[in-house]
């Protein structure tokens, strides 16, 4: 197959591993910087150009679109879909998962376990908003934040009110969630491909920190999943419409709760700690599923 990888940096671990895995299985790979693409949108022959050249046709495209370029990146991916290229993850699914509030609403509608989550726009609603999620301690999240940035643990009511007011004052969209104390600063990253969790790792926050992101000094270890956790991860990915996803779960007193569904999960941590060749599993999924014009949404928004 001719496969395109949409990635702004060919030297990133995940991009390199996907390229190596695809080439090892005999495929042709081209890494494309999504911001260097521009599009000819027309009825007869839509096309994508880069550096003055019309990009050739591809059988499949692997989107590794960073959060900061979601709008433009998904527009380019839609163009590939319109041209009949099979996407590992569809543009609509990526857009759903990147909108934290929308993703929570979709998961809730499907009955998937979540932390109690509140959303409001006016300072006058703050007291009721705090009560709605069970009072402090509680977690405040900027909707546009990634990798733990823009996430605050407010341990008192006064602190929660001050932080929420500050975010509202600068017109940042936030949501407020109950704090799952029993998780002990740990979460579980489940790597889903198709309808199966192929690898998982437990991430533990460092002392004095509640965010378990590896980028923020968290540590990782192997973990044995419960059947309910596997089922929750697969259902969450399916609800977003993602074929490949990193689903972050907390162990709560009332069962697994989903914190986030990531449409471009990194491969370094999961391959290292789970000792799985996840990149090759992704390429095998493409081999089994890639077909021209198979995209469910056909590039529609």
Q: Using one digit for the tens of pLDDT, what is the confidence trace for 231-275?
A: 999 999 999 999 999 999 999 998 999 999 999 999 999 999 889
Q: Which CATH fold topology does 182-284 show?
A: D-amino Acid Aminotransferase; Chain A, domain 1 (3.30.470)
C-alpha 186/C-alpha 184 separation (Å) is 5
Q: Which CATH fold topology does 117-179 show?
A: Dna Ligase; domain 1 (3.30.1490)
User: Which sequence spans correspond to the domains of the chain?
Assistant: 2-95, 117-179, 182-284
User: Is residue 50 over pLDDT 60?
Assistant: yes
Task: Give the confidence band of 301 by pLDDT, cuts at 50, 70, 90.
Answer: very low
β strands within 124-233, DSSP E: 138-142, 151-154, 174-178, 186-193, 196-204, 219-222
Please give the average per-residue pLDDT across 20-44, as a whole number: 94
Average pLDDT, the chain: 90
What 3-state class would DSSP assign to 195? coil
Question: Which pLDDT belongs to residue 209?
Answer: 60
Question: Which pLDDT belongs to residue 222?
Answer: 86
Domains 2-95 and 117-179 share a fold: no
pTM of the model as a whole: 0.87
pLDDT in tens, 167-216: 888 888 888 999 998 888 889 999 999 999 999 999 887 765 666 566 55
Given a contact cutoff of 8 angstroms between Cβ atoms, the answer to whether 145 and 174 are in contact is no
What 3-state class would DSSP assign to 236? helix
pLDDT in tens, 96-130: 999 989 999 999 999 999 999 999 888 899 999 99
Q: Looking at the domain that runs over 2-95, which CATH code has it been given?
A: 3.40.50.20
C-alpha 206/C-alpha 220 separation (Å) is 11
Given a contact cutoff of 8 angstroms between Cβ atoms, the answer to whether 278 and 267 are in contact is yes
């Amino acid at each position: 197959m001719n496969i395109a990888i949409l990635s702004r940096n060919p030297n990133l671990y995940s991009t390199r591993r996907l390229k190596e895995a695809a080439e090892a299985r005999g495929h042709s790979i081209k890494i494309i910087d999504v911001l260097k693409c521009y599009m000819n949108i027309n009825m007869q022959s839509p096309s994508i150009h880069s550096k003055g050249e019309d990009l050739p046709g591809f059988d499949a495209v692997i989107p590794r679109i960073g959060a900061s370029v979601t709008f433009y990146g998904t527009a380019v991916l839609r163009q590939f879909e319109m041209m009949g290229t099979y996407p590992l993850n569809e543009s609509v699914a990526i857009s759903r998962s990147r909108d934290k509030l929308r993703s929570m609403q979709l998961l809730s509608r499907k009955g998937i376990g979540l932390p109690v989550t509140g959303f409001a726009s006016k300072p006058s609603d703050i007291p009721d908003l705090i009560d709605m999620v069970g009072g402090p301690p509680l977690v405040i999240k900027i909707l546009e934040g990634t990798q733990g940035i823009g996430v605050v643990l407010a341990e008192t009511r006064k602190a929660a009110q001050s932080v929420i007011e500050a975010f509202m004052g600068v017109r940042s969209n936030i949501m407020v969630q109950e704090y799952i104390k029993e998780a002990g600063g740990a979460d579980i990253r489940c790597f889903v491909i198709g309808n199966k969790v192929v690898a998982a790792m437990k991430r533990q926050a460092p002392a004095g920190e509640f965010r378990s992101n590896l980028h923020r000094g968290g540590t990782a270890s192997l973990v044995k999943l419960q059947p309910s956790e596997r089922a929750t991860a697969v259902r969450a990915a399916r609800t977003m419409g993602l074929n490949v996803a990193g689903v972050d779960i907390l162990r709560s007193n009332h069962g697994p709760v989903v914190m986030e569904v990531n449409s471009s999960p990194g491969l370094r941590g999961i391959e290292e700690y789970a000792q799985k060749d996840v990149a090759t599993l992704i390429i095998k999924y493409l081999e089994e599923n890639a077909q021209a014009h198979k995209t469910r949404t056909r590039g529609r928004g």
